[in-house]
Chain A
């Protein structure tokens, strides 16, 4: 049995790179499949027995899943933004990570869609949104754009899949892959357009809530400021998440996968966008505190009187997880060292997660009526299980993709390269 699996596995392995044995790979996957099984069971309970299996309620109508959806879609933005930089702005160095970015995108978006399907009370009515769309609703925009972009991502994923050494033996697959590749610039353009819109409309989701002055923001035309802030923050942390995942895969596989200059370029892009985002977010916060919220009768200071959501959360988001990583990523000497680069990338990702947490969870916890109460919410094990299932699904898809497809084209070249311990690669190559 093991011999058969090993032979089968070898036939599909990427040529020219070294991977662990099939049993090792199966051992790695085992706990993730166990988590996936837990996730499927948890989600199944919610679908069969209803959302009473969760700890959400009439007041906490959104919970862990919406927070996770907003976060992973922001982190998955590396897919569209790297595609945009590579195919539209011609940053050729990013070819080294584009395949990995696409897989991360597929995983994040499909995972979010799966969680959303469990999160709605009537999943079989999902098509209603396409049939009776309310053009005024940000959720309509989100549904349309995410569905379309997931389709684009799956099409972008196909060439990666069809380049597998075994699948290439099928001539029609080869032709199909070649034809698909011609479309890649169009797909990158469409993907960028769709992504900009849905990242924005996810921001607008809470920004338009006049009845929730903590989340409500003024804006331009029909879009609240959070529409633009979400686009900017997603574009800023997408490359950071790519840095983090690439580094993590390097550590776990014990191989160098991309050249240092790619890390450097991603760090510079992330740092620059993050600093613009921090500036915009700070400005938005000042306007919100001094104008938007008071105009609705709510003094902004009241939001931070309800513990544990003190002003620390605002500073943690803007300074600790915004300004600090932005500075590290912008200073060449700091970002050249992994000891600075990786924590900075992780901080940037944590910052976007904190921002989404504040938007979703803190908004619902705060009272709106004077005879209202400050609320707390803890996800049930079924909610947590479903989330862990989505996480496990992501790890499994990425693990298979890393093993059988060429996610990092520079890996083969770097395998042959002997890297002097002391001598560092020049990091100022590339544009920007």
Chain B
């Protein structure tokens, strides 16, 4: 699977997130949950047992009083490139990288629920279904028919709204085209962001907005030093925000998440 990814990809979808624009409203989280049939949290769930494919972390510069500055970092699956930590560890090939899109996929139907992939992920972007999914009475009518809800005991994570990709592919084929029009495929979080902080597109297309943003000097990726080649590019004009991409510093309770 990894070797497949090393070939030239037809597309390499990724994101560019402008941290300076993100106001932490959480619209992306809500839109993601609605689009992907992520169930409401169980009454006993905590912030460590809940389900959300994208989570907005609040970080600060560590100073007090008037010097204190805050920023919001939306954290989702980073869709690592080569050596994606979660792909090689899954004992039953329930995790793969789609060579056509570069998207790291998760097959809940094949997942054993061993959670080895969660242990392997340095971004903590994978979530386990600790409870049976349940929606309040009547709310099941709002479920997205294009996305299968997951059962208890399996892992799930962001897949760049795979249902939308399928719809875009079907539309492209119906129109007799081979390449998906960028306007036809946009994940729900990108669409919902009120400040336009999240951009999505093909990183292989050097003229795309996302690829151009990824090349900007203020662009950074989380934990680049471990060599996972993530496809989520963040950017900020503030140096202290860019510093959050580095590993934690010794003995310091870091920028509060």
Contact = CB atoms under 8 A, between A and B. Distances in A.
Interface string B112-143: 11111011111110111111100000000000
Interface stretch (B23-31, B184-192, B245-253): B245-253
B73 interface: yes
A60 interface: yes
B94 to A, nearest CB: 8
A131 B112 CA distance: 12
A52 B49 contact: yes
Contacts of A21: none
Given A50-B153, A139-B116, A57 B93 contact: no
A167 interface: no
Main SS class of interface, B: loop
Interface of B: 1-2, 42, 44, 46, 48-50, 57, 59, 73, 83, 85, 88-94, 110-116, 118-124, 126-132, 151-155, 222-228, 243-257
Contacts of A136: 1-2, 88-89
Nearest to B51: A58
A369 B123 contact: yes
Nearest to B131: A52
Contacts of A56: 115
Interface string A37-57: 000000000000011100011
Main SS class of interface, A: loop
A140 interface: yes
B248 A61 contact: no
A137 B90 contact: yes
B119 A370 contact: no
B85 A372 contact: no
A370 B132 contact: no
B253 A50 contact: no
Contacts of B228: 210-211
B38 to A, nearest CB: 13
A125 B127 CA distance: 19
5 contacts: A211-B123, A211-B223, A305-B250, A306-B251, A372-B248
B119 A212 contact: yes
A15 to B, nearest CB: 46
Contacts of B124: 58-59, 368-369, 372
A120 B49 contact: no
Contacts of B122: 211-212, 368-369
Nearest to A140: B91
A48 to B, nearest CB: 11
B248 A139 contact: no
Interface string A353-366: 00000000001100
A371 B59 contact: yes
A108 B132 CA distance: 32
Nearest to B127: A58
A126 B153 CA distance: 13
Nearest to B108: A122
Contacts of B247: 213, 296-298, 302, 368-370
A120 B112 contact: yes
A139 B92 CA distance: 9
Given A52-B130, A139-B91, A305-B251, A132 B110 contact: yes
A156 B249 CA distance: 52
A410 interface: no
A33 B57 CA distance: 48
A298 B122 CA distance: 13
Nearest to B124: A59
B220 to A, nearest CB: 12
B254 A371 contact: yes
A360 B75 CA distance: 25
B113 A122 contact: yes
B249 A371 contact: no
B245 A370 contact: yes
A121 B152 contact: yes
Contact of A139 (B57, B114, B226, B256): B114
B89 A371 contact: no
A62 B257 contact: no
Contacts of B114: 119-121, 139
B243 A370 contact: yes
Contacts of A139: 89-91, 114, 116
Among A50, A122, A211: residue with most chain B CB under 10 A: A211
A61 B255 contact: no
A128 B110 contact: yes
B132 A368 contact: no
A40 to B, nearest CB: 20
B229 to A, nearest CB: 11
Contacts of A301: 250
A219 B70 CA distance: 41
B251 A137 contact: no
A125 to B, nearest CB: 5
B257 to A, nearest CB: 4
Contacts of B73: 371
Contacts of A209: 85, 89, 119-120
A219 to B, nearest CB: 14
Given A121-B152, A134-B92, A373 B226 contact: no
A51 B225 contact: no
A160 to B, nearest CB: 32
Among A120, A138, A301: residue with most chain B CB under 10 A: A120
Contacts of A50: 130-132, 152-153
